[in-house]
Amino acid sequence: MTSKIRTVLFDLDGTLADTAPDLAQALNTLLVDEGKQAQPYETIRPEVSHGATALIKLGFNVGPGDAGFDRLRERFLALYSADLCKHTKPFAGIEPLLKSLQQKNINWGIVTNKPAFLTDPLVAGLGLDPAPACVVSGDTVPNRKPHPEPMLLACTQAGSQPHECLYVGDAERDIIAGRHAGMKTLVALFGYISNDEKPQNWGADGMIRAPLEILDWLKNDV
């Protein structure tokens, strides 16, 4: 039996790649530079999927519109972009998964809210083989996840219809975006999910604890 899925799309941070170590290092460097206490890695990790704004909020308790936020965010991004692939690696199982997908004539791509000036060098640094059929960043189109627009562009670039795509992510916005685009969705439980989140309530088609479980799910999608 053959899967109906022709393209598997991934969120980047917390699904395809374990970016938390480098993001945590950038935040803690900024905190120390600003005369504050570094945060434990375990505190930072669950916030990584929510981007720079969430990390600045965690570290400094300021958000967009607050005094100093723009300066802190700009400095954080500069620190991160200078060392964005020092400790970052694909999650265990991703590389054999991509090889297996290729053998099944299923291509793959990335849809992330991370801006392109960070996404592009990070993806290049990971050196994944086979290469992605599409990479849609947070500023590629006017709307970001949870809006379906970036998902639909990824489908077009990958050469598949939405119902032929599976989207895998570790945040509720990922599942909402995939569902609204007409895709199947899986929650990556190995990603950056905090203890107070309830992924079982996000409405995904399934949940996986390791990347290679995607292959098991595809066997049943016939």
Every domain of the chain and the residues it spans: 7-18+88-220, 20-82
Tokens 């400790």 sit at which residue? 87
Q: Are 133 and 108 in contact (CB under 8 A)?
A: yes
pLDDT tens profile 71-91: 999 999 999 999 999 999 999
| 135 vs 173: CA distance, rounded Å | 18
pLDDT tens profile 146-178: 999 999 999 999 999 999 999 999 999 999 999
Stretch 26-53: mean pLDDT: 96
Plot region of 182 (φ>0 → left; ψ -120 to 50 → alpha; else → beta): left
Q: Are 207 and 190 in contact (CB under 8 A)?
A: no
> Which two tokens mark 102?
């290729």
Residue 3's pLDDT is what? 65
Could you tell me which CATH number the domain at 7-18+88-220 has?
Answer: 3.40.50.1000
Catalytic residue (one of 13, 18, 22, 174): 13
11 is an active site residue: yes
Catalytic residue (one of 11, 22, 170, 174): 11
Q: How many Å is the Cα radius of gyration of the chain?
A: 17
Residue 1's pLDDT is what? 42
| 71 vs 65: CA distance, rounded Å | 11
| 2 vs 160: CA distance, rounded Å | 16
Task: Using DSSP, state whether 77 is helix, strand or coil.
Answer: helix
| 153 vs 206: CA distance, rounded Å | 23
What is the rounded average pLDDT for all residues in the chain? 96
| 84 vs 99: CA distance, rounded Å | 25
Q: Can you list the alpha helix ranges (DSSP code H) found in the chain?
A: 20-33, 41-44, 51-60, 69-82, 94-103, 116-126, 149-158, 172-181, 213-220
